[in-house]
């Protein structure tokens, strides 16, 4: 099955620091990387883009005593291996990558910009996209924020639940409620 050409896959923050062995590891992150790579390779989506946390000096987003709600151990610092996509994902799999969070926290991919300065919403519209499927890390932070912003921007949004990993399972009841309230649907398979 191929997705309609008006549907894009958004792969959120599947980076080394958010996977096992990284500075802010989310359990199941490496499995998400493997499963997303398989989905991309299947050719199901004509348009696939990535977002990346891309920190230079994000202020209070980083802390030596993080609360894991608003402050976090340093992660995804530009120029470090932790900021790179987790294998087997590679940059060339994506039509475009949107970088966010240089100087402040940025959970949503819609806060990011591509290397040539395009916003995610603008880029998707230019490419005739009206529906997005969202997957990646972490379900309760950057996937949530990206999916809710996509809905706010007027896109039809599905979150691919089996292709995400959460910081805390305790957050998921609220996250599912937030998705339902915003008209974001959850799907266990692509």
Let me know if 161 is a catalytic residue.
Answer: no
Site membership for Zn ion, residue 111 (CB under 5 A): no
- Cα distance between residue 17 and residue 46, in whole Å: 28
Site membership for Zn ion, residue 96 (CB under 5 A): no
Let me know if 100 is a catalytic residue.
Answer: yes
Catalytic residue from among 19, 76, 135, 142 = 142
Least separation in angstroms between residue 23's CB and Zn ion is 10
Residue labelled with tokens 């991919």: 109
Residue with Cβ nearer Zn ion (35 or 53): 53
Let me know if 67 is a catalytic residue.
Answer: no
Strands in 15-76 per DSSP E: 47-53
Residue 186's contacts (CB-CB under 8 Å, 6 or more residues apart) are 158, 159, 161, 176, 179
Residue with Cβ nearer Zn ion (53 or 149): 53
Catalytic residue from among 19, 100, 133, 149 = 100
- Cα distance between residue 177 and residue 123, in whole Å: 29
Distance of CA 41 to the CA centre of its chain: 18
- Identify residues 18-57 at the interface with Zn ion (CB under 5 A): 53
Give the 3-state secondary structure of residue 83: helix
- Identify residues 53-92 at the interface with Zn ion (CB under 5 A): 53
Least separation in angstroms between residue 172's CB and Zn ion is 20
Residue labelled with tokens 């608003």: 70
Least separation in angstroms between residue 61's CB and Zn ion is 6
Binding site for Zn ion (CB under 5 A): 53
């Amino acid at each position: 099955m191929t997705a309609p050409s008006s549907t894009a896959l958004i792969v959120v923050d599947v980076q080394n620091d958010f996977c096992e062995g990284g500075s802010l590891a989310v359990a199941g992150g490496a499995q998400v990387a493997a499963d997303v790579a398989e989905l991309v390779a299947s050719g199901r989506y004509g348009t696939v883009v990535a977002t990346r946390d891309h920190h230079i000096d994000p202020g209070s987003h980083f802390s030596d005593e993080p609360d894991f709600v608003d402050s976090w151990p340093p992660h995804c610092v530009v120029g470090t291996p932790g900021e790179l996509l987790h294998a087997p994902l590679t940059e060339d799999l994506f039509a475009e990558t949107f970088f966010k969070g240089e100087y402040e926290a940025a959970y949503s991919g819609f806060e990011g910009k591509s290397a040539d300065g395009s916003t995610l919403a603008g880029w998707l519209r230019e490419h005739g996209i009206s529906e997005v499927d969202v997957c990646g890390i972490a379900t309760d932070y950057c996937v949530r924020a990206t999916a809710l912003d996509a809905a706010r921007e007027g896109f039809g949004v599905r979150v691919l639940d089996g292709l995400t990993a959460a910081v805390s399972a305790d957050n998921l009841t609220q996250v599912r409620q937030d998705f339902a309230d915003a008209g974001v649907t959850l799907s266990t398979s692509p």
